[in-house]
Structure formats: C-alpha cells, structure tokens
Amino acid sequence: MEPHLLHSVTDAVATVVVHHPAKRNAMTAAMWRSLPPLLDELAAASDVRALVLTGEGATFCAGADISTLRGSPEEAQRLAVEAEEALAAFPKPTLAAVRGHCVGGGSQLAAACDLRFAEEGSLFGVTPAKLGIVYPSSSTRRLAALVGPATAKYLLFSGELIDSGRALRTGLVDEVLPEGELGKRVAEFTRILVSRSQLTQSAAKEFANGRTDRDAHWTEQARGSGDTAEGVAAFLERRQPRFTWSVPTPE
C-alpha cells in the first residue's frame, strides 16, 4: 500500500493516521501535500468537533522520508511548513496521540497540535542539525513557546532524543500514559472536548495562539450564540449543557 493519510470520523472526533509503516510513518512529499486540503475538509465538516493525529502502529512519525530531500530539500521543507501551519490553524481542538518515535517532521506535526498525549517509552527529537538543515523560524518559535528557549536550543543544537518523562517535564507533552492506556485516555478526553462549548474553545485557541485583536468579535459571537445562557441554565438545573454554536463553514 502506498504511503498515505487515513482519516475517519466517530462521535464528532476526526482521526487522521499517518500511514507509512515501512519507514516508521515517515512523511513523503505527497503526504505533506495532502494534509492541508484534508484539514480544510474536516474543518468544514459540521459533524467534526475535535481532531486526533496519530501514527499507524507503534510509531507516531519518524520525520520526513529522507529520500524526498535528495532533489529539493527547500521544497520538502516548504511542504512540511505548509502542513504544520495548516494543522496549527485548524479551528477546532487538536490532539496528537504519540507512540514510539516522534522525530523531526513528526515533532513539527505534534507541536502544531493544541495538545499532546504520549505513551510511556515514546521518544522525541528535533533533528535538523543531523542533516545540516535550517529549521524554519515559525517552527522554532512554536517549539520555544512550548518548551522554553533553553530546551528548544538543547533539542535543536544537539538533535538528541528525549524520553516521555523529560518531554512531560519540559511541556512538550501534556500527559504520559502507561503502555496500552493511550487510546482509552484519548477517547475519554476527546469525549470531554466535544461536550464543551466550541465558542469558548475557538476563542481560547485564537487568544492562546497570540491573536489579540479579536475581543470585540468574540464578545459579539458570545452575545448571539446562546451558549452562555445554556451553560448557566444547565449548571443551575444540574444537567449537561447542549451548546449549539459551531465554527462557521468557510464560504
């Protein structure tokens, strides 16, 4: 089977699977190129309220398929950055579910997600220094925002791998689960995500990502949404809220 991205939607959660097991789910140029339009499709789907990115089998993603770098490394990097930025801009909550190696381009994809849950024993690395590649400024800033400048420099300068414990301590991942428990925890947590206000999540995502000029927009959205009234009523009535605001479909 050719390397590709699998996707499915279950209970309002889209799952995208990096599928290239012959090379530990390394991303080919075609796979990088296919991710942004797939994300556009899932963002526009009214039945999708959250997205999980993971890898086939026991590996998340071992980076870029090095064979794609031989002809034009600049083109390969451009495709990787475009995919990363498309993932970071996805308007609904995103979660990377990491097993095994999360290295190079894999770490770019994981860092572009809102949250990262990892299985114990996973390994993380940012490895352009092993190839003489200049890591993109946008990717460097995103990594530094997650782990701080010192750890970002450690990872980028050395290209060394760190284990899941250190990744948790530095903020690269949000939760570490025992072997066999990752899938269950991701399912449990995404059920929580899809039950919450998409209005709150969308505004929080913009603000947390540095967009500081949209307070008036989100105040207006909240005023017309009914979500606040529903949330208060549900709290007082001791029931689960039924939020109705959803991310607008792009025209």
CATH code of residue 33: 3.90.226.10
pLDDT at 19: 96
- Whether 147 and 29 share a structural domain: yes
Q: Do 85 and 203 share a domain, yes or no?
A: no
Q: Specify the pLDDT at position 191.
A: 97
Residue 251 lies in a domain: no
- What CA–CA distance (Å, rounded) separates 103 from 160? 10
Report, in angstroms and rounded to the nearest whole number, the Rg of the chain calculated over CA atoms.
19
- 183 found inside a domain: yes
Q: Counting beta carbons within 10 angstroms of the beta carbon of residue 23, is it exposed (0 to 12), middle (13 to 18) or buried (19 or more)?
A: middle
Q: φ, ψ for residue 241 (rounded to 5)? A: -70, 155
157 to 61, 71, 99, 109: CA distances (angstroms): 21, 25, 24, 19
Q: Do 15 and 30 belong to one domain?
A: yes
Range of the domain at 209: 197-237
Same domain, 82 and 188: yes
Considering the domain architecture, whether residues 56 and 175 belong to the same structural domain is answered as: yes
Looking at residue 71, its pLDDT comes to: 61
pLDDT bracket for residue 131 (50, 70, 90): confident
Q: What percent of the chain has pLDDT over 90?
A: 84
Name the DSSP class of 242.
-
Domains identified in the chain, total number:
2
Whether residue 219 lies inside any domain: the answer is yes
Is 26 a member of any domain?
A: yes
Summarised one tens digit per residue, pLDDT across range 133-185 is: 899 999 999 999 999 999 999 999 999 999 999 999 999 999 999 999 999 99
Question: What pLDDT score was predicted for residue 251?
Answer: 54
* Rounded Cα distance, 55 and 118, in Å: 12
Distance CA 117, CA 30 (A): 26
Q: Starting at the edge strand that comes first in sequence, how are the strands of the sheet with 13-19 ordered?
A: 4-10, 13-19, 50-55, 94-98, 115-119, 175-177
> Among the three residues 192, 224, 245, which one is the final residue of a domain in this structure?
192
Check whether residue 106 and residue 203 sit in a common domain. Answer: no
3-state secondary structure of 11: coil
- Within this chain, do residues 25 and 110 fall inside the same structural domain, yes or no? yes
Do 138 and 225 belong to one domain?
Answer: no
State whether 37 and 114 are in the same domain: yes
Q: How confident is the model at residue 250 (pLDDT cuts 50, 70, 90)?
A: low
Q: 182 and 227 share a domain? A: no
Distances from the Cα of 40 to the Cαs of 48, 72, 128, 130, 227, in angstroms?
Answer: 12, 26, 28, 33, 25
Residues 111 and 228 in one domain: no
pLDDT score at 77: 85
> Which of 106-115, 138-147, 240-249 is predicted least confidently?
240-249
Question: 112 with 96, same domain?
Answer: yes
Q: Is the residue at 220 inside a domain?
A: yes
In a domain, 250, yes or no: no
User: How high is the pLDDT of residue 147?
Assistant: 97
Query: Considering the domain boundaries, does residue 244 fall inside one?
Result: no
Query: Is residue 242 situated within a structural domain?
Result: no
